[in-house]
Amino acid sequence: MNDFNHTMKFDVRAEEEINEAQMVLEEVYEALKQKGYNPINQLVGYLLSGDPAYITSYNNARSTVLKLERDDLLEEMVRFYLDSKLDKER
């Protein structure tokens, strides 16, 4: 049974893994945009469902996105968003 009164610790990845997630997201975003899709909607669909059909195979975007786990991609997006948000407040 889970004890929801304790906080679980999540280990941060190495810098090269962060850079790989950033590169994957940028490549997939560009391929989706070039094919006329809304990249945000397509990425959200993929991240929520796990269905790679949300990602175009154009420029190998589908195989590129499948190189990493979805949680690695989500972690990179949250890190980037929060870093950007906190930098603006300083």
Whole-model pTM: value is 0.77
Considering only residues 83 and 30, tell me which one the structure prediction assigns the higher pLDDT.
30
Burial (CB count within 10 angstroms: exposed 0-12, middle 13-18, buried 19+), residue 55: buried
Looking from the CA of 65 toward its CB, the CA atoms found within 13 Å total 31
pLDDT at 36 over 80: yes
Q: Where are the domains of the chain?
A: 15-89
Pairwise CA distance, residues 66 & 80, whole Å: 20
pLDDT at 88 over 60: yes
